[in-house]
């Protein structure tokens, strides 16, 4: 079974939407704060079990997979026909959207990592010597914002995929025209040589 551009685009889109959904669920499941329990001069924060950290890491993995598939899909030799990479970057639109997709992907990954790791640190370091400790969790809204950035990154990879496909088609059209031009020159030369010989 050959892999087509449609299958690649579906993979990028599905993984991006999955990352978005997992980030939104993580935001909704996140606790506002833990329960402080004072004893022996320390405050121990008790956090009811919630899947926020797990969902955060799943969202990060889904986005990373979407980005990797998107990057691979842009340069993949469909039907065994490869195109030199510099052909893609000759197109200004492709270059702009490709750079935006790369930076947006890095930003989205960073934004997803930040609340996930912060939440994990709060859960692990739950004993405080400050008796006024409030048992914080990751800042509200970070998971949601990061989820939207993840979705945007995937959409930009889809745009890059469409622009790359256009550049690929233009490249093969140019190659076909060049071949036809070469054949036309050979036939014209042969015809001229025969015409002169016959005179």
The reported pLDDT for the residue numbered 197 is 52
d(CA 192, CA 186): 10
In this prediction, residues 106-118 reach a mean pLDDT of 94
What is the full DSSP assignment across 23-78?
A: HHHHHHH--S--EEEEETTEEEEE----SHHHHHHHHHHHHHHHHHHHHHHHH--G
**Furthest C-alpha separation in the chain:** 116
What is the C-alpha separation between 18 and 150, in angstroms, rounded?
Answer: 10
Cβ of 36: how many Cβ atoms within 10 Å? Answer: 16
Highest mean pLDDT among 45-49, 50-54, 183-187: 50-54
Q: What percent of the chain has pLDDT over 70?
A: 85
Could you tell me where the DSSP H helices lie in the chain?
5-29, 52-75, 85-89, 92-124, 142-198
Band (pLDDT 50/70/90 cuts) for residue 98 is very high
Closest of 41, 47, 40 to residue 124, by C-alpha: 47
Whether the per-residue pLDDT at 180 is higher than 90: the answer is: no
Question: Cα–chain-centroid distance for residue 87?
Answer: 22
Q: How confident is the model over 22-28, as a mean pLDDT?
A: 93
Question: Higher-confidence residue: 45 or 197?
Answer: 45
pLDDT tens digits, one per residue of 122-163: 888 878 776 777 878 888 888 999 999 999 999 999 999 999
């Amino acid at each position: 079974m050959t892999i087509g551009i449609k299958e690649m685009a579906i993979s990028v889109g599905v993984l991006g939407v999955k990352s978005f959904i997992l980030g939104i669920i993580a935001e909704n499941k996140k606790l506002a704060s833990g329960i402080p329990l004072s004893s022996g001069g320390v405050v121990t924060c008790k956090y009811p079990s919630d899947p926020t950290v797990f969902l955060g890491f799943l969202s990060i993995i889904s986005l990373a997979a979407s980005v990797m598939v998107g990057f691979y899909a842009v340069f993949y030799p469909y039907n065994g026909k490869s195109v030199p990479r510099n052909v893609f970057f000759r197109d200004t639109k492709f270059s702009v959207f490709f750079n935006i997709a790369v930076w947006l992907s890095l930003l989205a990954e960073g934004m997803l990592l930040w609340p996930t790791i912060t939440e994990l640190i709060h859960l692990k370091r739950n004993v405080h010597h400050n008796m006024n400790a409030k048992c914080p969790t990751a800042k509200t809204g970070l998971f949601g914002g990061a989820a939207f950035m993840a979705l945007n990154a995937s959409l930009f990879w889809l745009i890059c995929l469409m622009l790359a496909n256009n550049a690929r088609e233009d490249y093969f059209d140019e190659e076909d025209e060049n071949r036809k031009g070469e054949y036309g020159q050979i036939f014209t030369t042969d015809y001229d040589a025969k015409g002169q010989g016959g005179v």
